[in-house]
Amino acid sequence: MAAIAFENVSKRFGAVTVLDGLSLEIAEGEFFTFVGPSGCGKSTVLALIAGLERPSGGTIRFDGQLVNDLAPHERDVAMVFQSYALYPHMSVAENIGFPLKLRGASARDTARAVAEVAARLGIDALLERRPRELSGGQRQRVALGRALVRRPRVFLLDEPLSNLDARLRLEMRAELRRLHAEYRITTVYVTHDQEEAMALSDRVAVLQAGRIEQCGEPLELYREPANLFVAGFVGSPPINALEATLFPDLELPCGARAADVLVGLRPADVAVSRDPAPHALTGEVLLCEPTGEGLWVVGLTRGQRVTGRAKFTEPLPPGSAVHFEYAPARLYFFDRTTGRRLR
């Protein structure tokens, strides 16, 4: 297990800058997630930790030891790939035992370690199979087994759940949490799914265009987004970003002018009803998404889209006149040009 420290790390491929001045510390035993849209550089971070890529600038350290120039096999890092990357010419047992075999473990020790990991992952009945004979979820478990069998210093996961169906994804999410609690290996996780990031992680870094927009605990990102990008990326459905001029008698922070400000409003903080309220935007319904306990109502207010929550169990017909009630204390203010949070 190791703590990982990035200092001013950058990575360029030719003229393209993928990571730009990344500085960050991941604590020993932490479950840390990089989340961001595709192309934000999050997979490159993993490749840099694994040693598959070398940084163009800056330093990466494991427990204070500089690892910039160490090859992957010198780092004792394990990785689960998005495609699982199981070796098709090997059985499940051979796949899981491969890292041990490379380290010169005896056949007996390897077999014992493989059996133990396979039992923990519930794949002990599959050891003689080939990867092509396995389902997606089983392949996923084999890939996890191959990574865990040697108890690496750092455990890397690159979008490991994105190829699974929704139910299996929830199941594996719980499994990953359980494995992390059990092994306490420093884990770096990469995903584009903010919900997954929130559910799994001790801390999350939101990455965009090679830069960290914000780094913190999941709830902190949700409650105190540093800018409009983070506010829009974290939370589902995404936050409403509305013209400040829609709101009567707003008190804007820092003396900003309403024309320069966008107001963020979480859909969960907007109550949709047919009755007027003191703090409400009036508008009409565009469409409804029933969730079981209520509705997400997407509506229009003076030409702008706004999403809110309704307690109705029956959908509201499109075109109905409704009020989008908000709590003034739950509004976020962002600079329109920089996206920075104003407070």
Partner 1 sequence: MTRSGRYVGVLLVALYCLAPLAWQLLTSLRPAGELTTLPPLLPTRFTLEHYVSALTGHPFARMLLNSFIAAGAATAVALAFGSAAAFALTKMRARRVGLLLAIVLATSMFPPIATVSPLYLVINALGLRDSLAALILTYASFALPLAIWVLANFLRQLPDELYAAARVDGCTPLQAFWRVVLPLAMPGLTATGLLVFIVAWNEFLYALTFTATERSRTVPVAIALFPGLHEIPWGEIAAASLVVTLPVLVLVLRFQRRIVAGLTAGAVKG
Determine which helix (DSSP H) or strand (DSSP E) holds 321, and give its type and residue range: strand 321-325
Distance, CA of 328 to CA of 268 (rounded, Å): 14
Q: Which of 1, 3, 27, 52 lies at the binding interface for partner 1 (CB under 8 A)?
A: 52
151 binds partner 1 (CB under 8 A): no
Q: What are phi and psi of 210, to 5 degrees?
A: 80, 5
When binding is defined by CB under 8 A, the residue of 87, 107, 217, 338 that contacts partner 1 is: 87
CB-based contact 158:46 (threshold 8 Å): yes
The whole-angstrom separation of Cα 47 and Cα 49 is: 6
Q: Which of 131, 210, 218, 235 binds partner 1 (CB under 8 A)?
A: 131
User: x/- binding map, residues 209-238, to partner 1, per CB under 8 A?
Assistant: ------------------------------
Q: How far is the CB of 102 from partner 1 (least distance, A)?
A: 4
Binds partner 1 (CB under 8 A): choice among 39, 72, 318, 328: 72
Single out the residue of 92, 123, 126, 134 in contact with partner 1 (rule: CB under 8 A). Answer: 134
Is residue 37 a contact point for partner 1 (CB under 8 A)? no
Answer yes or no: are the C-beta atoms of 295 and 231 closer than 8 Å. no
Q: Which is nearer to partner 1, 89 or 343 (CB)?
A: 89
- Asked if 253 interacts with partner 1 (CB under 8 A), we say no
Please list the alpha-helical segments (H only) found in the chain.
42-50, 92-102, 107-121, 136-148, 166-183, 194-200, 218-223, 228-233
* x-marked contacts with partner 1 along 93-122 as a string, rule CB under 8 A: -----xx--xx-------------------
Q: Tell me: does residue 42 bind partner 1 (CB under 8 A).
A: no
Least separation in angstroms between residue 179's CB and partner 1 is 18
Rounded-to-integer distance, Cα 24 and Cα 20, Å: 12
Q: Which residues pair with 41 in a beta bridge?
A: none
- DSSP, collapsed to helix, strand or coil, labels residue 146 as helix
Options 115-123, 133-141, 199-207, 216-224: segment touching partner 1 (CB under 8 A): 133-141
Q: What residue has token string 């995903």?
A: 191
Distances (CA, A) of 206 to 164, 186, 286, 314, 339: 23, 19, 31, 37, 15
Q: Cβ of residue 83: shortest distance to partner 1, in angstroms?
A: 4
Cα distance between residue 255 and residue 176, in whole Å: 47
Q: Which is closer to partner 1, CB of 30 or CB of 159?
A: 159
Say which residues have a Cβ less than 8 Å from residue 234's Cβ, sequence separation at least 6.
194, 198, 206, 221, 222, 225
Query: Which residue of 132, 167, 257, 343 would you call a contact of partner 1, by CB under 8 A?
Result: 132
Q: Which one among 4, 19, 86, 161 touches partner 1, defined by CB under 8 A? A: 86
CB of 142 to partner 1, least distance (A): 11
Instruction: Evaluate whether 265 touches 326 at the Cβ level (below 8 Å).
Output: yes
Q: Which is nearer to partner 1, 85 or 268 (by Cβ)? A: 85
Cβ proximity to partner 1: between 160 and 283 the closer is 160
| CA R_g for the chain | 24
Of 44-52, 114-122, 245-253, 294-302: span binding partner 1 (CB under 8 A): 44-52
- Give the number of other Cβ atoms within 10 Å of residue 48's Cβ: 24
Give the Cα separation of 259 and 2 in Å (integer): 49
Q: Rule CB under 8 A: say whether 77 interacts with partner 1.
A: yes
What residue ranges bind partner 1 (CB under 8 A)? Answer: 47, 50-52, 71-73, 77-79, 81-89, 98-99, 102-103, 130-134, 136, 139, 146, 156, 163
